[in-house]
Structure 1
């Protein structure tokens, strides 16, 4: 009997952290299946979901599923890297939808820099009209070009890098804003970070105030984790907190002039959410600066 040929080693690995969201994971994998996956390993790292995605796993037989019991997307992404030997690493989140040419573009852009962050478009999962949260997200969510070209970091929901870079920088760290922390560490080591508008995924907007509040509570906790905890750090954080209402006024023209919103109803709902969220963040940040939990 002939010995079966060993499978060729993958040139790239797509790493998808997942936790208890099988419908969106299915949508993510369906979108990836429309891409050219030649030489690419797709790896889902389930973060020990209470309901394991067994139905999804059965449907996508060519996708590899592993379980990471340590909680957090950072641990899941690190496990994904450890599970593959592919030299190229493509990161996407389970609730994202890749464009049909996302993998092809990822291969094209990989040689151009050490870290490449792409565009993240926002779409609504509910029928119109938009809620205040959806309208706010349509204007402000996922401005990766600003993150990369102005603030000097990128997210990991649409990220291309190499194993060599990842191993030199080290893994993602939990308990902080892991995207900001990891890409900032990479840039500080001299690695080049660029933005590519043609590397596109889409992400659903938060549909209501509760979901938007939960998102920003988590981000505020993570950002405080990388802020520092000295008295001087806390004082700077308090000043940033007090500037939150001012920032709402500064950003109001962006809302009112946005061509992403349909009519004055959506614009006014987005403006109301802008002020509500900035005042909420001010309260959270002041509590953090005083050593209180949020």
Structure 2
């Protein structure tokens, strides 16, 4: 019986999936079963199958990463689960570190390092992501959840907590359900994967539109919940001002132009989110 099941949801991102699998095969995969769960992509995966013939790929017709991850758990048997996304790049020791830390807690989330896929200079979206994207330490130690792009847990924990739920921020929702049942979540900085930054405003806007929809789905539909959501929306401009010093002091940015682009994107995004959230609170959608 394998020791670890590595589950990778995928949809229409074959190039990045191949990069993910290429990096994964640099790890010691002894005792691992690796499963790619494809959400009925329209892109062909023939080249991926040919290059990685030892890695199993199954198709899940229900759309969404939640359904894909649930199918991945159902299709595997190992008592330990490691989740990574198809657009992530695991470090060469990702599996080894996962083995070393998986008994320290019921859920272990790791570090996600943002990298650019385009040559310099950075766009505003790339500069913004360099500062703000994927702060898993903050997610885990302050907000109490881990993203599933870099997560280690156990099959018995998953069976007790239940499957990922679609239509909400499934990693936040699942983490909160797990910790509410008494399971312990910790951060491990040595458990590292890379993730590409969003290259431009449309990509960044699409990411945050999805996140805003998912987060609203967890607030409830009553009048009190909508009022709270509207008040949170009205705080978005102030939050941009609060976070400006983080942009100006960030060691991840170089030069005044990058900082200016990141600052402008921060303000633009927070104002955009304010409009979306007010529309949601009014029942208009975004």
Query: What is the TM-score with the length of structure 1 in the denominator?
Result: 0.97
Q: Secondary structure at the match of 2:176?
A: helix
Find the aligned partners of 1:137 and 1:51 in 2 and give their Cα distance. 27
Equivalent position of 1:63 in the other structure: 55
| C-alpha displacement of 1:53 | 1.0
Find the aligned partners of 1:227 and 1:180 in 2 and give their Cα distance. 13
Cα deviation, 1:265-286, whole Å, max 9, x if unaligned, reads 0000000000000000000000
Does 2:10 align with 1:18?
A: yes
Does 2:284 align with 1:284?
A: no
Does 2:45 align with 1:44?
A: no
Equivalent position of 1:137 in the other structure: 129
Equivalent position of 1:153 in the other structure: 145
| C-alpha displacement of 1:227 | 1.0
Find the aligned partners of 2:21 and 2:91 in 1 and give their Cα distance. 12
Q: How do 1:156-235 residues align onto structure 2 when only pairs under 5 Å count?
A: 156-235=148-227
Q: Secondary structure at the match of 1:173?
A: coil
Q: Unpaired runs of 5+ in structure 2?
A: none
Q: Secondary structure at the match of 1:41?
A: strand
Cα deviation, 1:210-247, whole Å, max 9, x if unaligned, reads 00000000000000001111100000000100000000
Q: Secondary structure at the match of 1:187?
A: helix
Equivalent position of 1:257 in the other structure: 249
Q: 2:120 aligns with which of 113, 119, 128?
A: 128
| C-alpha displacement of 1:51 | 1.9
| C-alpha displacement of 1:52 | 3.3
Cα deviation, 1:164-197, whole Å, max 9, x if unaligned, reads 0000000000000001000100000000000000
Cα deviation, 1:100-149, whole Å, max 9, x if unaligned, reads 00000001110000000000000000000100000000000000000000
Find the aligned partners of 1:57 and 1:183 in 2 and give their Cα distance. 32
Find the aligned partners of 1:276 and 1:205 in 2 and give their Cα distance. 17
Aligned residues, how many? Answer: 286
CA RMSD, Structure 1 to Structure 2 (Å): 0.5
Find the aligned partners of 2:250 and 2:85 in 1 and give their Cα distance. 27
| C-alpha displacement of 1:85 | 0.7
Q: Secondary structure at the match of 2:5?
A: strand
* TM superposition outliers: structure 1 runs of 4+ over 2 Å: none
Find the aligned partners of 2:42 and 2:159 in 1 and give their Cα distance. 31
Find the aligned partners of 1:80 and 1:139 in 2 and give their Cα distance. 32
Q: Unpaired runs of 5+ in structure 1?
A: 1-8
Q: 1:106 aligns with which of 84, 98, 103?
A: 98
Cα deviation, 1:243-264, whole Å, max 9, x if unaligned, reads 0000000000000011100101
| C-alpha displacement of 1:293 | 1.3
Find the aligned partners of 2:144 and 2:284 in 1 and give their Cα distance. 29
